[in-house]
Amino acid sequence: MKVLVIDVGGTHVKVLVSGEREPRKFASGSALTPEKWLRA
């Protein structure tokens, strides 16, 4: 089974997938649109 964890905070989004050791991080905020989120 694979697990996807997404933490959407006020300043950053963190994404971690099963098998990965480090989460992927990128800035969040009011300018973060769904399209920008998918590209990140």
Q: What per-residue confidence (pLDDT) applies to 30? A: 85
Residue 21: give the domain boundaries.
4-39
Q: Could you read off the pLDDT of 26-40 as tens digits, one per residue?
A: 998 888 888 988 888
What is the pLDDT at residue 20? 94
Task: Decide: pTM greater than 0.75.
Answer: no
Q: Is the pLDDT of residue 25 over 90?
A: yes
Residue 33 CA to residue 40 CA, distance in Å, equals 11
Percent of the chain with pLDDT over 70: 100
Cα dist. 10→2, 15, 18, 27 in Å? Answer: 26, 14, 24, 9
Is 23:14 a contact under the CB 8 Å cutoff? Answer: yes
Domain count along the chain: 1
